[in-house]
């Protein structure tokens, strides 16, 4: 029997955890705790970007055809077939020159982009940069994983405020030289989460040039790149191709996933591609901390990267949802059609208050924009007046939800 006197001291934990803010959905749960929607209101979750479309049949078919491989440990680097499928897709999607991307040296599978984006900071952040604590540049608002990765790696997260005036992208010309000098990593998301805006090719080339000039890693999160409204977003690999040079992929890593593209979030399959030196180092790091994608999952992922028909249908469905949202919200709450992704970023004046109102009065669960951002130098939180609404349900449901949003908040 263990007595109190035998318990001893509590174990120490990583003190950097104290530097993390609560995860957005943890904060949302606390905000709505004890608040019950009015009677007869069927709750609808619009806070989480979890696709509701059925994955294409090829996913289950390929998993079944490779079921004999479940008993084998997967290699960290994946299979040659997976790497080739990814490299071929990148070449088709972004018009890359033959041989520009070596499938065996420039592609690494990931268990979804979230895990790889987080682990990247352990690779890219040194103890010191320019004699100081390294900085990690993060758009503000942002995907929470970027902040967590920076803090746990020992870097200072430097939040680059965005807004309508900057097309919801960081103003690269406004980053101080002293900050760039100690920057180790820059997370850039395009199409942006949560705003859906897209970095053009000139912007991407400028960002990559900054990375090479100041010696940091440019990590471009492109996981929403296949959900677009009018035109396919350009990619950072295109920027690298245009810039050229002896090492055209230097300092660059791009991240893609099947979670949104193929509605296959449960497959936990994505990839990292780019600078072969960084890929080699990342493979070494991940060989210690990653179980790897199962071989049947890699086979299914390869089949999905080779198929475009289901992606085109996916885009059609998301456009229909955006149409339904626009029919109810056009001219209200700062509505605009997001060029990419499937989120609405609505200006409601007070995101938390709007979130409580929508939950209590309409059973709609959305996310306050302030939970995805941090206060700027002037103390103002650039996301505080917004809510993020995920258009993941069918078009009819989306239209009805947006009608309730307009009725309650306009």
Summarised one tens digit per residue, pLDDT across range 29-78 is 999 999 999 877 789 999 999 999 999 999 999 999 999 999 999 999 99
Q: Is the pLDDT of residue 144 over 90?
A: yes
Q: Is the pLDDT of residue 145 over 90?
A: yes
Q: Kindly list the domain boundaries of the chain, sorted by start residue.
A: 15-53+310-409, 57-307
Q: What confidence tier does 1 reach under pLDDT thresholds 50, 70, 90?
A: low
pLDDT of residue 2: 52
What are the tokens at 21? 């803010």
Q: What confidence tier does 290 reach under pLDDT thresholds 50, 70, 90?
A: confident
- 265: Cβ–Cβ under 8 A, 6 or more apart, which residues? 50, 51, 112, 259
CA 1 to chain centroid: 49
Q: Is the pLDDT of residue 5 over 70?
A: no
User: Which residue has better confidence, 238 or 1?
Assistant: 238
Cα separation, 355 vs 371, in Å, equals 11
Burial track 53-67 (b if 16+ CB lie within 10 A, e otherwise): bebbebbeebbeebe
- 400: Cβ–Cβ under 8 A, 6 or more apart, which residues? none
Dihedrals φ, ψ of 187, to 5°?
Answer: -90, 125
Q: What average pLDDT does the segment 84-96 reach?
A: 98
Q: List the CATH code of the domain at 15-53+310-409.
A: 3.90.1150.10
Cα Rg of the chain (Å, integer): 22
pLDDT of residue 157: 97
Percentage of residues in the chain with pLDDT exceeding 90? 91
pLDDT of residue 21: 84
HEC sequence for the chain: CCCHHHCCCCCCCCHHHHHCCCCHHHHHHHHHCCCCCCCCCCCEECCCCCCCCCCCHHHHHHHHHCHHHCCCCCCCCCCHHHHHHHHHHHHHHHCCCCCCCCHHHHEEEECCHHHHHHHHHHHHCCCCECCECCEEEEEECCCHHHHHHHHHCCCEEEEEECCHHHCCCCCHHHCCHHHHHCEEEEEEECCCCCCCCCCCHHHHHHHHHHHHHHCCEEEEECCCCCCECCCCCCCHHHHHHHHCCCCCCCCEEEEEEHHHHCCCHHHCCEEEEECHHHHHHHHHHHHHHCCCCCHHHHHHHHHHHCCCHHHHHHHHHHHHHHHHHHHHHCCCCCCCCCCECCEEEEECCCHHHHHHHHHHHHCEECEEHHHHCCCCCCCCCCCCCEEEEECCCCHHHHHHHHHHHHHHHC
pLDDT of residue 190: 98
pLDDT of residue 40: 77
pLDDT of residue 289: 85
pLDDT of residue 10: 84
HEC sequence for 76-124: CCCCHHHHHHHHHHHHHHHCCCCCCCCHHHHEEEECCHHHHHHHHHHHH
The whole model's pTM is what? Answer: 0.95
Average pLDDT of the chain to the nearest whole number? 95
Percentage of residues in the chain with pLDDT exceeding 70? 98
Alpha-carbon distances, residue 374 vs 141, 159, 381 (angstroms): 7, 7, 6
Indicate the range of 7-16, 41-50, 77-86, 115-124 predicted with least confidence.
7-16
Q: How many CB atoms lie within 10 A of CB 85?
A: 24
Cα separation, 355 vs 351, in Å, equals 6
Q: What average pLDDT does the segment 344-350 reach?
A: 98
Cα separation, 308 vs 311, in Å, equals 5
Same fold, 15-53+310-409 and 57-307: no
Q: Is the pLDDT of residue 361 over 70?
A: yes
Q: What average pLDDT does the segment 380-407 reach?
A: 97
pLDDT of residue 104: 97
Q: Is the pLDDT of residue 142 over 90?
A: yes
Assess whether the previous peptide bond of 141 is cis (omega < 30° from 0).
yes
Q: Which of 189, 179, 185 is nearest to 154 (CA)?
A: 185
pLDDT tens, position by position, 194-248: 999 999 999 999 999 999 999 999 999 999 999 999 999 999 999 999 999 999 9
Q: What average pLDDT does the segment 367-391 reach?
A: 95
Q: Is the pLDDT of residue 3 over 70?
A: no
Q: Is the pLDDT of residue 6 over 70?
A: no
Dihedrals φ, ψ of 366, to 5°?
Answer: -120, 175
Q: Which of 203, 289, 227, 205 is nearest to 49 (CA)?
A: 227
Alpha-carbon distances, residue 353 vs 29, 47, 257, 383 (angstroms): 14, 15, 33, 13
β-strands 107-110, 270-274: how paired?
Answer: antiparallel
Q: List the CATH code of the domain at 57-307.
A: 3.40.640.10
Q: Which of 410, 404, 409 is nearest to 42 (CA)?
A: 404
- Do the Cβ atoms of 296 and 70 come closer than 8 Å? yes
Q: Is the pLDDT of residue 4 over 90?
A: no
Cα separation, 409 vs 32, in Å, equals 18
pLDDT of residue 263: 97
β-strands 386-390, 364-365: how paired?
Answer: unpaired
């Amino acid at each position: 029997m263990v007595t109190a006197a035998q318990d001893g001291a509590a174990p120490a934990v990583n003190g950097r955890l104290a530097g993390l803010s609560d995860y957005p959905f943890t904060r949302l749960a606390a905000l709505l705790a004890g608040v019950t929607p009015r009677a007869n209101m069927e709750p609808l979750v619009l806070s989480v970007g979890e696709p509701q479309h059925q994955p294409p049949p090829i996913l289950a078919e390929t998993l079944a055809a490779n079921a004999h491989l479940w008993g084998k440990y997967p290699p960290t680097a994946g299979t040659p077939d997976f790497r080739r499928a990814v490299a071929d897709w990148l070449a088709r999607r972004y018009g890359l020159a033959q041989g520009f991307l070596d499938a065996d040296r420039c592609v690494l599978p990931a268990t979804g982009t979230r895990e790889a984006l987080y682990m990247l900071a352990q690779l890219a952040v040194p103890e010191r940069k320019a004699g100081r604590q390294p900085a990690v540049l993060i758009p503000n608002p942002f995907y929470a994983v970027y902040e967590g990765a920076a803090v746990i790696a020992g870097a200072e997260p430097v939040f680059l405020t965005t807004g309508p005036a900057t097309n919801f992208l960081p103003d690269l010309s406004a980053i101080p030289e002293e900050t760039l000098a100690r920057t180790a990593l820059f997370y850039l998301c395009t199409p942006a989460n949560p705003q859906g805006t897209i970095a053009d090719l000139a912007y991407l080339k400028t960002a990559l040039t900054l990375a090479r000039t100041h010696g940091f890693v440019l990590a471009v999160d492109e996981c929403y790149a296949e959900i677009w409204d009018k035109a396919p977003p350009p990619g950072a690999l295109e920027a690298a191709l245009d810039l050229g040079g002896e090492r055209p992929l230097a300092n660059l890593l791009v991240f893609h996933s099947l979670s949104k593209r193929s509605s296959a979030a449960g497959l936990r399959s994505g990839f990292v591609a780019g600078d072969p030196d960084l890929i080699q180092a990342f493979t070494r790091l991940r060989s210690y901390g990653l179980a790897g994608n199962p071989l049947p999952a890699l086979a299914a992922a390869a089949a999905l990267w080779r198929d475009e028909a289901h992606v085109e249908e996916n885009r059609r469905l998301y456009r229909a949802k955006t149409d339904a949202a626009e029919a109810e919200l056009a001219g209200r709450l700062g509505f605009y059609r997001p060029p990419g992704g499937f989120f609405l970023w609505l200006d409601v004046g007070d995101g938390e208050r709007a979130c409580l109102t929508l939950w209590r009065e309409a059973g709609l669960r959305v996310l306050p924009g302030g939970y995805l951002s941090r206060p700027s130098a002037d103390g103002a939180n650039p996301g505080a007046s917004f809510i993020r609404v995920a258009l993941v349900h069918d078009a009819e449901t989306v239209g009805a939800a947006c009608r309730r949003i307009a009725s309650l908040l306009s």
